[in-house]
Structure 1
Amino acid sequence: MTESFLPHMNGVTGSVLQILRHLERHGHEARVYAPAAADMPRMIGHARIEAIPSVALPGYRTVRVGTSSTHRLSASLARFAPDVVHLASPFALGWRGALAAERIGVPAVAAYQTDVAAYAARYGVSLTTALAEAHIARLHRRATLTLAPSSESEEQLARLGVDRVRRWGRGVDAERFHPDRRLGAWEHRADAEAVVGYVGRLAPEKQVEDLRALADLPGVRLVIVGDGPSRPRLESLLPDAVFLGHLSGPQLAQAMASFDVFVHPGESETFGQTLQEAHASGIPVVATGRGGPVDLVRQGIDGWLYRPGDLEDLRERVRDLAGDVRKRQAFGRAGREAVEGRSWSAVCDQLLGHFVEAQELHRADAGLRAPRAVRPEPTPAGERKHWRRYIALGDSLTEGLCDPGPEGELRGWADRLALLLAAREPLDYANLAIRSKRVGDVCGSQLDRALQLRPDLVSILVGANDLVKQRVSIPLLATRLEDTVRQLREAGADVLLVTAFLPGNPAARVYVRRFSAWATALAGIARRQGAILLDTDLHPQLAERPNWGEDLVHLSSRGHRFLAYRAGVALGVPLADELGALDEALHAAERTGAGVWWRRHALPWVWRRLHGRAAGDGRSAKHHDYVRLGRERGVREPSEV
């Protein structure tokens, strides 16, 4: 499962091609899932290429983003029946690939190859950096095993809370990239004493504009290989540089070997494949002392690392090599010797070892799970499980704020789910949720009352009020909630855990990382305790404005309906999806306004906080005891008489 593939050639594509060749040589069957693009091949050797519907990435017309659903990927993977799913530089398609692998019960190995968060910051969209980091963390936590290309990448993933990280670098084609490819009378050398070259995409995250620091170095000719959206701007900034555009194959190998110094200023490289190729070509490297280059460049042996952001230091490091032929040659020989043991064959053998480890970890994880599946499967001959006593625990979302009934009473998603469950036979239903309550309340008084009522189904949606506090310990909250789930399971109840969610507005983005970590914790609780998980991240449309009430904090009636039917699907209620679509069609004319938001909601909330009060103070649960929903079998309604 790769975010990038042919005909777009980059480091990710190159790695995937090398892996495919190695798998075929060793008798393994492979299939590639990649975003559809014009001129994409249908086969690579014996490996079939599955083109996934895609859209173009803004600014990169040749780069496609896969848009296929998790359901489609799951179905296709199930037909192929893989032993492991390899996620190459996963982000969009890779996230759905991780979910699909989980659905069909196979391990997923995620290769961290692109620092998407750093790219977001570099493109000037800092508001999305936290979102990108939260997504990266959640994706890699979901994978069975994560492969990091460098020590700095390992540290970055550790800061994001990702465990099970193994080091896996990249191989280099030391036959193609070789000192013998050097052209002594290269036409682009002209009268220059030293050619300083760069190879890579011409894009903001590569920081190629920093090479302006080298523009007036005496005796130096700057040669830039590559293409991208920044090329017009760079050509104006570096008018004396030679731009060769995109090169590949023998032409690229000749250009690389014909440099005298290779320079790479990008600070967001997780590895730095072109640095290895320069070393294989016998060329010394000058790179920033951050990211992947830290592990690839040996200071004063085969190159120099300059202080990140210090362009004067960059200039002096290049000047040192450009003016000393013997030092360049010595550094070049050392670089060549360093990469001779990093063949793609050796690196791919390591990858196969990681695949085996992922299978072992996956089997161990499965052994930790309770016998009950995370999502119940339908059973034949009418044997589907029916619940007779359902209790809803939580806060204002489960109480039903912003979802008034015909008589003004609050309904909410849990009330609607109860009616859905009661459609086939009577159901005793209690709703113990109260607005403003937190995890401690659910695990305290609400749990105590629930155990007294001896339910056979309990839903829990809580955590949002904890996560928006100034300080919060998610591990402590998760530990307490897991103990609650364990007690309910031991008492004989099935538990539906619903992940907390946010509206899709800029103000909510500051909490994205916390909500992501909380959802990851709930997924672990569900696996270990045999609970049923409703992962709202799989339903991004829930964040859309029409699904939120006029206070912008609670779900609207439409949002409550949507969540209720998604819960019905998670519980295996027959035709829940179809009923949800029908319900939505019947309410198509519903509209939500926000003109009185400040007066009705924002100012009262501020007043309560200033006085140390919460909206739920003094309130009791709307259904502290069971109410009977539905009707007994065999009893006809008056209208039927």
Structure 2
Amino acid sequence: MSPLDLDTDALDYVALGDSFTEGVGDPYPPEQTAGRPAYRGWADRFAEHLAAHVPGLRYANLAVRGKLMRQIVADQLPRAAELKPDLASLSAGGNDLLRPGADPDRLARILERAVHRLQEAGADVVLFTGVNFSSGFMRLRIGTFARYYLNVRSIADRNGCYLVDQWSMRSLTDPRAWDTDRLHMSPEGHRRLALKVCETLGVRAEGSGDDDWPPAPPLDRRAARRADAQWAREYFVPWVGRRLTGRSSGDSVAAKRPEPLPVGAPWTTGTRTGAGGEAADHTR
């Protein structure tokens, strides 16, 4: 793929997806969002890098945590096509693949139709592979994820899409790249991914998503076991409970940037709040 054409005064970018693209795990300071909980994430960070080269950039983010492929296609894709963006990023299918009986080939067919619709609207499209998890509970479904991401690679090749290859990013397999829920990236993980997106599209930015991490502190096995138990209580068990009852962390949550606006412009977050004004549960 040729680098993104930055020799322009104006460019519209729209991001579609789930919690990955909403930016869960990378919260904004409350003073930047009028006290309302909201997430920054790799997409906002990438838009900031892009705006440094295209002052007339307008950016919309339609992603909502917990959404399945069919929901992204039904709820976000029509709006994205209506906006006729110059650039669209689409990451979908991760929540589907976590469910029993997920069909990666079927999901890929739906994804490719979505790519066609975005391209028909005039957008260059950015797709993503996922991270190669070789440890932790996600490894149990690594084969299903790998099959899907092979399909995503093929879709990108056939249709001339940019492909952000997280699978090859060893830096994202470091635990420090992940939030305490172990499902979403930490602020540093999101920062590194934004740099990888820049690299893939040929957008100049300082640093690299693949930079080495500083040495990690020694692992205390007892502390690690306690952390595992705490994680299971606070995140894994509630996540399973939502799956069994058909609930989603994205219920009643709206897109944080439904309209294309300049980076840094005031925007209305769609993030709901829980008791005490804290961000509601944000797992996938």
TM (norm. structure 1) is: 0.36
Q: Does 1:397 align with 2:39?
A: no
Of residues 420, 430, 435, the one that matches 2:49 is 420
Name 2:277's counterpart in structure 1: none
Of residues 138, 163, 167, the one that matches 1:533 is 163
Name 2:130's counterpart in structure 1: 500
Name 1:444's counterpart in structure 2: 74
Deviations 1:59-78 (A, max 9, x none): xxxxxxxxxxxxxxxxxxxx
The question of whether the paired residues in 1 share the 8 Å contact of 2:194 and 2:209 is answered with no
Structure 2: which 5+ runs fail to align? 31-36, 218-223, 266-284
Of residues 233, 241, 248, the one that matches 1:614 is 248
2:207 maps to a residue whose letter is: L
Structure 2 vs 1, CA of residues 534 and 385 (structure 1 numbering), >3 Å: closer, same or farther? farther
Equivalent-residue separation in structure 1 for 2:19 and 2:251 (angstroms): 12
Of residues 102, 116, 119, the one that matches 1:489 is 119
| Aligned-residue RMSD, C-alpha | 2.8
Equivalent-residue separation in structure 1 for 2:149 and 2:244 (angstroms): 30
Structure 2 vs 1, CA of residues 476 and 611 (structure 1 numbering), >3 Å: closer, same or farther? closer
Equivalent-residue separation in structure 2 for 1:565 and 1:457 (angstroms): 17
Equivalent-residue separation in structure 1 for 2:95 and 2:240 (angstroms): 15
Deviations 1:108-162 (A, max 9, x none): xxxxxxxxxxxxxxxxxxxxxxxxxxxxxxxxxxxxxxxxxxxxxxxxxxxxxxx
The question of whether the paired residues in 1 share the 8 Å contact of 2:132 and 2:168 is answered with no
Q: Does 1:466 align with 2:88?
A: no
Deviations 1:474-496 (A, max 9, x none): 22211111111111112110000
Equivalent-residue separation in structure 2 for 1:445 and 1:572 (angstroms): 30
Q: Secondary structure at the match of 2:207?
A: helix
Name 1:411's counterpart in structure 2: 40
Structure 2 vs 1, CA of residues 487 and 600 (structure 1 numbering), >3 Å: closer, same or farther? same
What is the correspondence of 1:195-594 to structure 2 with a 5 Å cutoff?
375-377=1-3, 384=7, 388-407=11-30, 408-424=37-53, 425-574=55-204, 576=205, 578-580=206-208
Deviations 1:501-560 (A, max 9, x none): 354424222211111111111111111111111121221221221111100111111111
The question of whether the paired residues in 1 share the 8 Å contact of 2:130 and 2:167 is answered with no
2:73 maps to a residue whose letter is: C
The question of whether the paired residues in 2 share the 8 Å contact of 1:432 and 1:623 is answered with yes
Where relative contact order (Cα < 8 A, 6+ residues apart) is larger, the structure is: 2
Structure 2 vs 1, CA of residues 403 and 441 (structure 1 numbering), >3 Å: closer, same or farther? same
Equivalent-residue separation in structure 2 for 1:385 and 1:567 (angstroms): 19
Q: Does 1:626 align with 2:260?
A: yes
Percent identity of equivalent pairs: 38
Equivalent-residue separation in structure 2 for 1:504 and 1:416 (angstroms): 27
Structure 2 vs 1, CA of residues 499 and 581 (structure 1 numbering), >3 Å: closer, same or farther? closer
Of residues 228, 234, 256, the one that matches 1:600 is 234
Structure 2 vs 1, CA of residues 429 and 377 (structure 1 numbering), >3 Å: closer, same or farther? closer
The question of whether the paired residues in 1 share the 8 Å contact of 2:192 and 2:209 is answered with no
Structure 2 vs 1, CA of residues 406 and 610 (structure 1 numbering), >3 Å: closer, same or farther? same
Equivalent-residue separation in structure 2 for 1:524 and 1:398 (angstroms): 22
The question of whether the paired residues in 2 share the 8 Å contact of 1:548 and 1:555 is answered with yes
Q: Secondary structure at the match of 1:388?
A: strand
Equivalent-residue separation in structure 2 for 1:512 and 1:421 (angstroms): 33
Structure 2 vs 1, CA of residues 581 and 616 (structure 1 numbering), >3 Å: closer, same or farther? closer
Equivalent-residue separation in structure 2 for 1:581 and 1:512 (angstroms): 23
TM (norm. structure 2) is: 0.79
The question of whether the paired residues in 2 share the 8 Å contact of 1:519 and 1:535 is answered with no
**What is the CA distance between 1:384 and its match in structure 2?**
4.7
The question of whether the paired residues in 1 share the 8 Å contact of 2:86 and 2:123 is answered with yes
Q: Secondary structure at the match of 2:258?
A: strand
The question of whether the paired residues in 2 share the 8 Å contact of 1:501 and 1:515 is answered with no
Equivalent-residue separation in structure 1 for 2:10 and 2:143 (angstroms): 35
Q: Secondary structure at the match of 2:106?
A: helix
The question of whether the paired residues in 2 share the 8 Å contact of 1:404 and 1:410 is answered with yes
Structure 1: which 5+ runs fail to align? 1-374, 632-641
The question of whether the paired residues in 2 share the 8 Å contact of 1:400 and 1:410 is answered with yes
Equivalent-residue separation in structure 1 for 2:148 and 2:120 (angstroms): 23
**What is the CA distance between 1:464 and its match in structure 2?**
1.2
Equivalent-residue separation in structure 2 for 1:477 and 1:581 (angstroms): 28
2:249 maps to a residue whose letter is: A
Q: Secondary structure at the match of 2:126?
A: strand
Equivalent-residue separation in structure 2 for 1:429 and 1:473 (angstroms): 32
Equivalent-residue separation in structure 1 for 2:150 and 2:163 (angstroms): 11
Equivalent-residue separation in structure 2 for 1:618 and 1:629 (angstroms): 25
Q: Secondary structure at the match of 2:13?
A: strand
Deviations 1:450-480 (A, max 9, x none): 0121111100112111112111222221111
Q: Tell me the number of residue pairs that the alignment of Structure 1 and Structure 2 aligns.
A: 249
Name 1:95's counterpart in structure 2: none
Equivalent-residue separation in structure 1 for 2:124 and 2:49 (angstroms): 17
> Whose strand proportion is higher, 1 or 2?
1
Deviations 1:226-252 (A, max 9, x none): xxxxxxxxxxxxxxxxxxxxxxxxxxx
1:579 maps to a residue whose letter is: G
Q: Secondary structure at the match of 1:605?
A: helix
**What is the CA distance between 1:610 and its match in structure 2?**
3.5
Name 1:136's counterpart in structure 2: none
1:411 maps to a residue whose letter is: R
